[in-house]
Amino acid sequence: MKEKLMRPCNFATVSVLATAFVLGACGAPQAQEHGGPPPSQVEVAIPLSAQVSDWNGYTGRFEAVERVEVRARVSGYVKSVNFDDGARVKAGELLFTLDDRPFRATLAQAEAQLAQAKAELSQAESDVERSEMLSKSGAVSVEELEQNRTRLASAAATVAAAEAGVDAARLDLSFTRVTAPIDGRVSARNVDPGNLVAGGNSSGDILTTLVRDDELYFTFNVSESDYLRYMRTEETEGSVKAEARLQDETTFTRQGEMVFADNRMGDTTGSIRVRALVGNEDGIIRPGMTGEIRVSGSTTYPALMVPQAAVQTDGTRRTLFLVNERNEVETAPVELGPLSGNMQVIRSGIEANDRVIVNGFVRTRAGAVVNPVPVQLDYQAAPEDPAKVQSRPAMSARPVN
């Protein structure tokens, strides 16, 4: 899966296309004739008009991009531990040293064997050269010449083997310095100086663990329909952007993008496992932590928004109370979109210049005459970015530049 998507904008950069004041009726209506009570006072506002984009929310878990179990590649006694538990280290940084004296002795022995093999090779070369000269005069038989040549080849092979032994001894000596294989954060040490550790294979002692934490995977499940939508977005946009937050964070400030989708849907869940790559610049995220993520679910589109509290329920319908030019209350069935902070996106059912009742519903009913008081809707008065995320995708929206 590709690793990019359209860049999301923060709530701090909300760009409202049209925020209007409502012009209510001039002056409060007079008391009804025959001594009746005056019309109820209600607050009305024109819907906010903005460009928004939809986001789908999920819960999931952070996982390490790389995790390494640090083992020694040779067995020996630990001489020193060269890091602080939980510290960040760079690739190649020294973590442990083992007692290298046995390995230096082995190297010296291998070097001595190499010197001996080279001396024997030199002697064999001289024997062959002399035999070839004497064979021309018949002083040395052909059989003796061939024997000398065989000894020369054997001496050359012995030198090659001795050289390989020196290389192996040097390599084992270098393995007494255990270094970090990747950049990342180390766990606590599992051994102390003086401990004997086994190394050289997968069953060797684990000295510590190391995880890369400059960025982490966020793994979560999406429905088949969401998966298809994201794949279509990736085809057209090149990537699928995502934003994450931790349990104690109120805003989605950690930027990322979807990078992986599993190769099959779950047989019983009807969902597919996906993964986003999320930055960890402050280093606070640890693998295994849970969090919330929202994924871009649409391109930008124009929308009207009203306070969520203004939406009424009439049986199975969602409605808004409108005030017409005669200051009479009308009921407008509406189709709801996602939430954006404390504002509700309205997909259809109202016009941009409708006067929507936003406060004073207690005494409001269809056909009643009211005293409308105009108020201004201000998106900035809403929480900066309080979109709720649930395990089942909870769609939210937000204005964009």
CATH of the domain at 201: 2.40.50.100
- The pTM score is 0.68
pLDDT of amino acid 139: 80
Q: Which amino acid is at 273?
A: R
Residue 392 confidence (pLDDT) above 80: no
* Beta bridge partner(s), residue 45: 356
- pLDDT per residue as tens digits for the range 263-284: 999 888 889 999 999 999 999 9
Q: How many CB atoms lie within 10 A of CB 346?
A: 24
Q: Are residues 95 and 47 in the same domain?
A: no
107 domain-assigned:
yes
204 domain-assigned:
yes
Buried/exposed code over 147-157 (b: 16+ C-beta within 10 A; e: otherwise)? ebeebbeebbe
- Give the pLDDT band of residue 350 (cuts 50, 70, 90): very high
Residue 308 confidence (pLDDT) above 60: yes
pLDDT of amino acid 299: 72
Q: What average pLDDT score do residues 374-393 get?
A: 51
Q: What average pLDDT score do residues 313-332 get?
A: 93
Q: Are residues 261 and 166 in the same domain?
A: no
- pLDDT per residue as tens digits for the range 43-98: 999 999 888 878 889 999 999 999 999 999 999 999 999 999 999 999 999 999 99
pLDDT of amino acid 31: 46
Q: What average pLDDT score do residues 349-353 get?
A: 93
Proportion of the chain above pLDDT 70, given as a percent: 85
3 domain-assigned:
no
Domain boundary among 260, 278, 295: 295
- Give the pLDDT band of residue 339 (cuts 50, 70, 90): confident
5 domain-assigned:
no
Q: Are residues 248 and 333 in the same domain?
A: no
2 domain-assigned:
no
Q: Are residues 73 and 94 in the same domain?
A: yes
Domain boundary among 277, 295, 313: 295
Q: Are residues 326 and 289 in the same domain?
A: no
Q: Are residues 261 and 335 in the same domain?
A: no
287 domain-assigned:
yes
Q: How many domains does the chain have?
A: 4
Residue 164 confidence (pLDDT) above 80: yes
Residue 156 confidence (pLDDT) above 60: yes
Domain boundary among 186, 211, 236: 211
Q: Are residues 207 and 105 in the same domain?
A: no
- pLDDT per residue as tens digits for the range 196-229: 999 989 899 999 999 999 999 999 999 999 999 8
- Phi then psi for 219, rounded to 5 degrees? -105, 135
CA atoms of 340 and 49, how far apart (whole Å): 13
Range of the domain at 23: 11-56+299-399
386 domain-assigned:
yes
Computed over every residue of the chain, the mean pLDDT equals 85
Q: Are residues 351 and 387 in the same domain?
A: yes
Q: Are residues 350 and 322 in the same domain?
A: yes
Q: Are residues 157 and 289 in the same domain?
A: no
168 domain-assigned:
yes
Q: What average pLDDT score do residues 313-328 get?
A: 92
Residue 115 confidence (pLDDT) above 80: yes
Q: Report which of residues 31 and 109 the model is more confident about.
A: 109
Question: Among 223, 222, 192, which Cα is nearest to 207's?
Answer: 192
* Beta bridge partner(s), residue 278: 216, 256
Q: Are residues 167 and 107 in the same domain?
A: yes
Q: Are residues 77 and 199 in the same domain?
A: yes
